Amino acid sequence: MLDMETLWAEVAEQFKKRSAPTAYETWVNTAKPVALDGNQLTIELPSALHRDYWKSNKMDQQLVEYAYQATHEDIQPVLVLEEELKRPVAKAPASTTANSDTPTFRKDIQLNSKYTFDTFVIGKGNQMAHAAALVVSEEPGAMYNPLLLYGGVGLGKTHLMHAIGNKMIDDNPSTKVKYVTSEAFTNDFINAIQTHSQEEFRQEYRNVDLLLVDDIQFFADKEGTQEEFFHTFNSLYNDNKQIVLTSDRLPNEIPKLQDRLVSRFAWGLSVDITPPDLETRIAILRNKANADRIDIPDDTLSYIAGQIDSNVRELEGALARVQAYSRLKSAPITTDLVADALQSLNLTDKVTQLTIPVIMTKVANYYHVSVADLKGKKRVKTIVMPRQIAMYLSRELTDSSLPKIGNEFGGKDHTTVIHAYDKIADQLKSDDALQKEIGDLKSELQH
């Protein structure tokens, strides 16, 4: 998932491409992202008039589209005015009464109240994980400690983890739950060192009944954090407090994860989640469509489920996209409309889709430099220019996010990619030779 600034940069850029300059300045440039909570993006607008304009021109729905293109996630915008942000906000109820459009978070612990066992569809790939999670929520600290859920992206690991927390709080509202991603744990830990508040940090993490740590693969390489987490783990474990972890792979496959952590993580139960089969995908879509009150025929649902087989997040994203598309066109959701809406995802010829390495190789050959040069840091002009052109083409011809492109080019920052893109785009306006070179490269790449 992108961070808020990057997501906004991507979305704003799409608006810019598709709006007249004055419209962009008036309506988009005055908007400011203020929070990204889960999938909810809060955007501050300067006046009620701006909000009316956004709504009546369906800019919020366009935003869902653009955000989907950037993240493949169903991002829900919430438009607020500056003065509303200053007013105290009523606390969200700590139950699952949320309307399905706006996920409520149990603010203090960041549990998404929509991620419950009730809303989780059980299928072949996740039934073990579901059963283990349920046992843990009923008898925390007893049978499976720690519980580790692992598997590919968007398959419901976070959902199940939150479901455990939500159920334990529903069963006993005084249960203390702490949910963090491993990155948040790392940041808290570094902050605690910087502000000399290690004691508070320990209190916060060791004084809970349930600790949920998401995406522990990002502990790789972080020595100090692993050390601290080791002590946190021991303290909770010795007190029979439940620990639940998620990861995209087994701990022994996480590079540079200390052996003592790897062995502790194996004390409990590790269960994997695999991608859902067709029936499960249809059931998930049906559930989601019902929850969001989307009117969609069964054969159309099956069609979507047949097209998207990678993960549940993409499946949900596709449904959001279809919904946004049907609103934009003011047309009911049919299989034809879905085919149109999903067309730009190029689902049918995924294999032939251009990838960044292919673009890099082509550009490197064309300019007689090496791919390593493109990924490297040399600042000589004969390399910088091809590197920027390759970044430009990666942005134009693939739907990779800016951070992903940066990553492929030897771990560069996304701002470097934006800079390269803008520079080439600008130069293209007046440089005929460059226009020809990029034209040649594009046609070679696309045939």
Ligand X SMILES: Nc1ncnc2c1ncn2[C@@H]1O[C@H](COP(=O)(O)OP(=O)(O)OP(=O)(O)O)[C@@H](O)[C@H]1O
Rule CB under 6 A: which residues touch ligand X? Answer: 115, 119-121, 126, 153-159, 215, 246, 248, 284, 312-313, 316
- Residue 102 annotated in ligand binding: no
Rank residues 202 and 249 by Cβ distance to ligand X and give the closer one: 249
- Residue 157 annotated in ligand binding: yes
- Residue 154 annotated in ligand binding: yes
Euclidean distance between CA atoms 130 and 343, whole angstroms: 34
Q: What is the CA radius of gyration of the chain?
A: 24
Euclidean distance between CA atoms 49 and 32, whole angstroms: 15
> Nearest-CB residue to ligand X?
156
Q: How far is the CB of 180 from ligand X (least distance, A)?
A: 13
Rank residues 209 and 215 by Cβ distance to ligand X and give the closer one: 215
Contact 388, 403 (CB under 8 A): no
Beta strands in 248-403 (DSSP E): 269-273
Q: How far is the CB of 172 from ligand X (least distance, A)?
A: 24
Six token digits for residue 136: 């843990």
Q: How far is the CB of 206 from ligand X (least distance, A)?
A: 25
Euclidean distance between CA atoms 288 and 168, whole angstroms: 24
Q: How far is the CB of 312 from ligand X (least distance, A)?
A: 3
Rank residues 149 and 393 by Cβ distance to ligand X and give the closer one: 149
- Residue 158 annotated in ligand binding: yes
Q: How far is the CB of 431 from ligand X (least distance, A)?
A: 41
Rank residues 312 and 405 by Cβ distance to ligand X and give the closer one: 312
Euclidean distance between CA atoms 48 and 53, whole angstroms: 9
Rank residues 321 and 387 by Cβ distance to ligand X and give the closer one: 321
Rank residues 154 and 406 by Cβ distance to ligand X and give the closer one: 154
Q: How far is the CB of 264 from ligand X (least distance, A)?
A: 21
Cα dist from 164 to 103, 140, 203, 244, 446, whole Å: 17, 9, 22, 9, 48
Q: Give 334-373 as a DSSP string.
A: -HHHHHHHHHTTT-TTGGG---HHHHHHHHHHHHT--HHH
Binding-site residues sit at 154, 156-158
Residue ranges at the known binding site for ATP: 154, 156-158
